[in-house]
Structure formats: C-alpha cells, structure tokens
Amino acid sequence: MATTARKATTAVLEERDRQRRRTAERLLASSVKLSFDPLTEVDWDAEPVPGAYYIAPRRISLYGTALWQGLTEEQRIELSKHEVASVASVGIWFEEILMQMLLRHAFDRDPTTAHVQYALTEIADECRHSVMFARMIAKMGAPAYGAGRVAHNLGRVFKAVSTHSQTFGGTMYVEEILDSFQREMMNDESLQPLVRQVSRIHVIEEARHITYAREELQRKDLGLVRRRAEQLLMGVVIYFATTRLIHPRVYASVGIDPAEGSRAARANPHWRAAKVEMAAKVVGVLDRAGLVGRTNRWLLRAAGVV
C-alpha cells in the first residue's frame, strides 16, 4: 500500500519536472529569438514631442477630479510624465526584489536544468529593464520617486524571506499590472515615443516571465492553513505594490499639495476603476491558484483592485 502511494507521488513529481523542463526550454528558445538591448534599441537622443502625453489622460490618478479641472494642458502633460516616472521607479523597486528572489530560487536548484537556466536568463532581462527604466526617468528629468520608506523596507525583508508562492505570486501581480498599463502605452500613437519604445520592449520580454511565474504558481499544492497564511502575505504585497504606484510627491510637480493630491486620487472613481481594470486578469489567476480568499479580500479592497 505504502509503496503504491510512494510510486504515485514519484510519478507526479516526475511529471512536474517534465513540465518544468518543457516550459523552460520553450522560454529559453524564445529569449534567444526575441530579446532587446535597450541601451542601443531605444532612441535615447530624441527630444520629447511637444504637446504629447506620457500616459493617456484617463490613466492619470487625478483624471476627472476637481483638481484635474484646475490644471492647464501643460500641467496635465507634466503630471503624466511624473506619474510614469513614479510607476517606473516602483517597477525598479520590484525588479530588484524579484532579481534577488529568483537568485534564491536558482541557488537551491540544479544549475544544469533548463528551469534554473531560465531563472538566470530572467534575472538578466530584469537587470536590463531596471537600467532602461532608470535611464527613461533620468531622460524625462523626473526624480526616481520609489515606493516610499515603509514599502521600501518591507521589500528589504520580503526579498530575503519570501516563500515560493509569494515569490511567484508577487511577481505575477506586479508584472501583470505593469503589463496592462504598458500594453496600452505601446499601442497609443498619441503618446511620447520614448515611453512607447520602453513599454514595447518590456511587454515583449515580460510575456515570458509571466508564463514562468504562472506555471510555477499552478504547480504548488497548498494545505488549508498554509494557504491562509500565503493569502494574507499576498494581500500585503498587493496592497503595497498598488497603493505605492503613484508617489504623493508627483502632485507637487504641478503645484498641488501632495497630501491633497493623494486624497483626491484615493477618492477618484476613475482611478479606482482603472486599477480594478488593470488588475482584473491577474486577480483571476491568483484566485485560481488559491491565493485570493477571505483572508486577503479586505486588503485587495483597501488597495482598490476589487
């Protein structure tokens, strides 16, 4: 009886390893065919196009509010630039967290496997992305706002101790949110060419990362107690990753008091709807992986994504 059960478990584990290998081989082949060097493939010397937004007005956190009505067209464009810079700097914050988590994932596994070699390849992608985002922020002449002190320091702990589910669940969440924003940006011809080029490179390379994370998540079986704990931490990640996207200081770039701007954005139904729309797909995936439930739904509501 015990031997039969052991054999069945071994068969399941072998099948899991086969799946892992197939996915990683496919992703490695795709990386060879379609990867970018942003240092040479983005036109860093081009001047900004006068009158063009950096992100569509309807995706700006103050869009539709009384404060928005009070801004001139130039100020609205300026705010769009600072919000893109804020999101990109939070992108760097998370990519640095992710690189360390992927290194820890690789550290404990056999480096001759395609699965680990893809983890290392993804770190190389993220490394180029962070340089690309940093250069874009500098080129726009905006500060690297970052995620704020609390989230920054929570990230310091998280990247050192995150579990498998948190590593890949957190990754999926942040990558999918950025992906939704950037897919729109790369396709919107009215926007600044710089942000469109950066978005396009990121969307193409991130599609592989999202596949890798999604399949890893689906491979994990969690018991009830463990699932509750993972949900709670996942909720904390979602809360901070979402509420820190737009740094309050961006509002000062157009003469709005940061606290007042933040309050208006939080209460803005347009901004809330944008966040719900951007998060809809990934919340569905996390839900199917058992990472959304009673334990964290309140945090998702507080983050404004459900």
Binding site for Fe ion (CB under 5 A): 126, 129, 175, 206, 209
| Smallest distance, Fe ion to C-beta of residue 172, A | 10
Is the Cβ of residue 132 or residue 233 nearer to Fe ion in the bound state?
A: 132
Q: What's the CA gap between 162 and 166, in Å, rounded? A: 6
CA distance 79 to 85: 10
Q: Which is nearer to Fe ion, 30 or 295 (CB)?
A: 30
**Gap between the terminal Cα atoms of the chain:** 47
Cα dihedral 13, 17, 20, 22 in deg (nearest 10): -130
Q: Which of residues 167 and 262 has its CB atom nearest to Fe ion in the complex? A: 167
Decide whether 159 or 227 has the Cβ nearer to Fe ion. Answer: 159
User: Minimal distance in Å, beta carbon 118 to Fe ion?
Assistant: 12
Q: How far is the CB of 98 from Fe ion (least distance, A)?
A: 6
Cα gap 170→302, rounded to integer Å:
17
Shorter beta-carbon distance to Fe ion: residue 62 or 237:
237
Tokens 């079986």 map to which residue? 221
What's the min distance (Å) between Cβ of 189 and Fe ion?
Answer: 24
For the CB of residue 276, give the shortest distance to Fe ion in the complex, in Å.
Answer: 23
Q: Which is nearer to Fe ion, 126 or 176 (CB)?
A: 126
Q: How near is the Cβ of 209 to Fe ion at its closest, in Å? A: 3
Q: Which two tokens stand for residue 54?
A: 């950096």
Residue number, 212 or 251, with CB nearest to Fe ion: 212
Rounded distance between C-alpha atoms, residue 169 and residue 10, angstroms: 26
Closest CB to Fe ion among 211 and 295? Answer: 211
CB of 129 to Fe ion, least distance (A): 4
Q: How far is the CB of 206 from Fe ion (least distance, A)?
A: 5
